């Protein structure tokens, strides 16, 4: 099954050392919202979406090795970015898997696109890290 394409890929037990350090910093967050905002800021600085690379790097869609994904900088598929985000959020201790939903939409009328909805307290916050490169801000998604 491709990485997080239709269901959530299990989170890994073993993580890169520098990813573990990031998680330790996330654990110092005041609350869920601050943790989510830190993850968003970190991953939008590290990764981005690109329309053409969505198709030219299609084979990378199936990668689920967190060591490979974490060492990347620049383009990643939306599903890969969301997998990394789920790892950070759950391993931070502020979120459970049940607090994170995989959502789908179409961009450019033909391209399937995944984003997240994350439960923070009694509200659901939309998170679309991949689409930040297209001007989509925290709390919105590409559509």
Q: CA-to-CA distance for 9 and 5, rounded, in angstroms?
A: 9
Nearest to 115 by CA among 104, 107, 100: 104
* 76-103 pLDDT, tens digit each: 989 999 999 999 999 999 999 999 999 9
Q: CA-to-CA distance for 50 and 133, rounded, in angstroms?
A: 8
Q: CA-to-CA distance for 83 and 64, rounded, in angstroms?
A: 8
Q: pLDDT band at 119, cuts 50/70/90?
A: very high
Q: Which CATH class is domain 17-134?
A: alpha beta
* 51-61 pLDDT, tens digit each: 656 655 655 76
The token pair at 92 is 């931070």
* pLDDT at residue number 136: 85
The token pair at 85 is 């985000």
Strand partners, 117: 101, 126
Contact assessment for residue 41 and residue 57, using Cβ atoms and an 8 Å cutoff:
no
């Amino acid at each position: 099954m491709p990485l997080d394409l239709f269901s959530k890929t299990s989170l890994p037990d073993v993580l890169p050392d520098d990813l573990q350090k990031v998680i330790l910093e996330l654990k110092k967050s005041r609350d869920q919202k601050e943790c989510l905002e830190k993850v968003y800021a970190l991953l939008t600085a590290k990764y981005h979406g690109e329309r053409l690379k969505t198709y030219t790097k299609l084979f990378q869609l199936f990668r689920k090795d967190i060591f490979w994904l974490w060492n990347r900088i620049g383009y990643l598929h939306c599903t890969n970015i969301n997998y990394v985000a789920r790892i950070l959020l759950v391993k931070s201790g502020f979120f459970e898997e049940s607090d994170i939903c995989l959502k789908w939409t179409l961009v450019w009328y033909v391209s399937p696109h995944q984003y997240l909805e994350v439960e923070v307290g009694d509200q659901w916050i939309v998170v679309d890290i991949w689409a930040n490169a297209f001007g989509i801000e925290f709390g919105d998604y590409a559509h």
